[in-house]
Amino acid sequence: MLSTVNLRWYHTNSGNPRPDFHPTNPRPMASSTPLTRPRIIIHGGAGNITRANLPPPAWSLYRNSLLHILRATSALLASGTSALDAATSAATLLEENPLFNCGKGAVFTRAGTIELEASVMVSRGYRKRGVGVALVKKVRNPIKLAREMLVRGEIDGGGGGNSGGDGDPAGGSGGAQGHCFLSGTTVEELAEEWGLEMCEEKWHWTKRRWEEHRRGLGEKQVPRWDEVMGQGDAEKLVGNGIGDLDWDGKEYLPQGTVGCVCLDQYGTLCVATSTGGLTNKLPGRIGDTPTLGAGFWAEEWEVPSSTLIPQQQAISSLQAILPDCFREGISACIPSLAGYLPLSAFTSTLQDEKRPRTTKSGAAMSGTGNGDSFLRINAVRTAAAISHFTPNRPLSSAVQQIAGPGGELEASAGNRWGKTGEGEGGIIGIEVVDGKGEVVFDFNCGGMFRVWMDDKGRERAMVFREEY
């Protein structure tokens, strides 16, 4: 368990721990020798994206923004930064960019308010493994709040009750009392107590999202931006122009999420996800983004290996060559061993040596799209379970079954498919097999903003199935 000193040592708001400290192991690392090739994929939302509502200038803005974040995060992973800190850093940059439906660029509720959600999950190293926060209004970066809940869980009393613990005699409030999901004023009070950057609700507002809010409800029902903000605030909060791009065509109303999945050089997977939710959602609505298993998931498991180590192969060969000797007793063939190694001990050792090795497999995913549909089928965890419990079933196939065209998400919409936005979405992820990470993704709607480093280390950026 992390001591208070180690927690201070590890935690930084910037998401950059000391280079000799790995968050899944509170002890300083004796060696920085890479064990696994890092991998990364990022998404910026999915939905009814078409060339009509995403003309070349708009795509250029999205592409350049996402590639900038990809490069920055890849550099962190290459320098030995943990998957948790790298993914959190990527999501923070997305929250700061008004292009995306999270943080600064979040969409509005029907009541004209903003309610943010975020989550992080690791494949190992923290007892909570995954946490989510929701109904956040006054925290500048909800993803940092989610990460703080995860890390501080190592010093609380656990159990969820006021029972005290090794690190917090007051009852474990240091890590949100062992809870994995908190919302509203409770989690905002913890954020302030933990020293995270707070802000006024208006900090998250952008003119572009307000206009989408107006058009979605009918412009006559909703005041104009300058009327609701006042001239001074309106000018101040319009931002740097990135989020205020207008274009024609059928409106792309964001209903998605942003997310990053990382595999670090230590073999740990992490997913970080953040969102403003559905455009014009009802106040108080909580979606899939902070809900374990629905919109995010990370895990690892052991898989038996049929490969024997050289010593095992030698013993196996000896058995094949001298079967009679093994049946009659090893002492009859090699008398000198009789006084030193009882036959029962030798055969027991032989059986132990023949036990197959195990290798680590893992999966981490982030979903984006219509969160209510993800909730109905527990989409991301279901994809992980398909891969985990079906022999030789790659994660890419499982993701296709859930989020691809004609998959379970689409089926969940029934006869409402294509009419209400239900069932639309996509999933990105990383699969680990025999220590090697593979990037996966699929979606069933018009497009999904995504960038990743391919197997050859090249930057890739796409929104549609084909190149833009």
In this predicted structure, what is the pLDDT of residue 177? Answer: 85
What region does 342 belong to: left with phi over 0, alpha with psi -120 to 50, or beta? beta
> What CA–CA distance (Å, rounded) separates 24 from 88?
15
Contacts of range 343-352, beta carbons closer than 8 Å, 24 or more positions apart: 350/315
Instruction: State the Cα–Cα distance between residues 81 and 204, nearest whole angstrom.
Output: 29
C-alpha R_g of the chain? 26
Q: Is the pTM of this model over 0.85?
A: no
Whether 278 contacts 285, CB under 8 Å: yes
- Cβ of 406: how many Cβ atoms within 10 Å? 10
Decide if 199 contacts 206 (C-beta within 8 A): no
Q: Which residues of the chain have pLDDT under 70?
A: 1-34, 156-175, 226, 228, 230-256, 305-356
- List of residues 6+ apart from 234 with CB closer than 8 A: 207, 225, 226
Which pLDDT tens digit goes with each residue over 89-131? 999 999 999 999 999 999 999 999 999 999 999 999 999 999 9
The SS3 assignment for 122 reads strand
Task: List the one residue out of 437, 446, 452 whose CA is nearest residue 466.
Answer: 446
Q: What is the pLDDT of residue 329?
A: 52
Chain centre distance of CA 101:
16
**Amino acid found at 364:** A
280 within 8 A of 107, measured Cβ to Cβ = yes
**Structure confidence at residue 353 (pLDDT):** 52
Place of tokens 């936005």: 421
Task: Check residue 261 and give its pLDDT.
Answer: 98
Cβ proximity of 280 and 110 under 8 Å: yes
> E-assigned strands of 171-291?
181-183, 258-263, 269-275
Is 390 one of the catalytic residues? Answer: no
Q: What is the pLDDT of residue 303?
A: 86
Distance between CA atoms of residues 158 and 365, nearest Å: 26
DSSP 97-146: -TTSSSGGGPPPBTTS---EEEEEEESSSSSS-EEEEEEE-SBS-HHHHH
Of the candidates 116, 96, 272, 119, which has an alpha carbon nearest to the alpha carbon of residue 201?
Answer: 116
Cβ 42 vs Cβ 73: under 8 Å: yes
Lookup: tokens for 162: 């006021």
- Residue 382 and residue 364 in contact, taking contact as beta carbons nearer than 8 Å: no
Catalytic residue among 73, 92, 206, 257: 257
For residue 211, what pLDDT is reported? 86
Beta bridge partner(s), residue 448: 46
Q: What is the dihedral of CA 107, 109, 110, 112, to 10 degrees?
A: -80
Report the sign of the C-alpha dihedral through residues 438, 379, 384, 90, in that order. Answer: positive
Residue 246: both structure tokens together = 């207008």
Quote the pLDDT of residue 266.
Answer: 95
- The token pair at 117 is 């959600």
**Helix (H), strand (E) at residue 21:** strand 21-22
| Tokens (6 digits) for 208 | 């572009």
pLDDT of residue 68: 98
Residues 6 or more apart whose CB falls under 8 angstroms from that of 320 comprise none
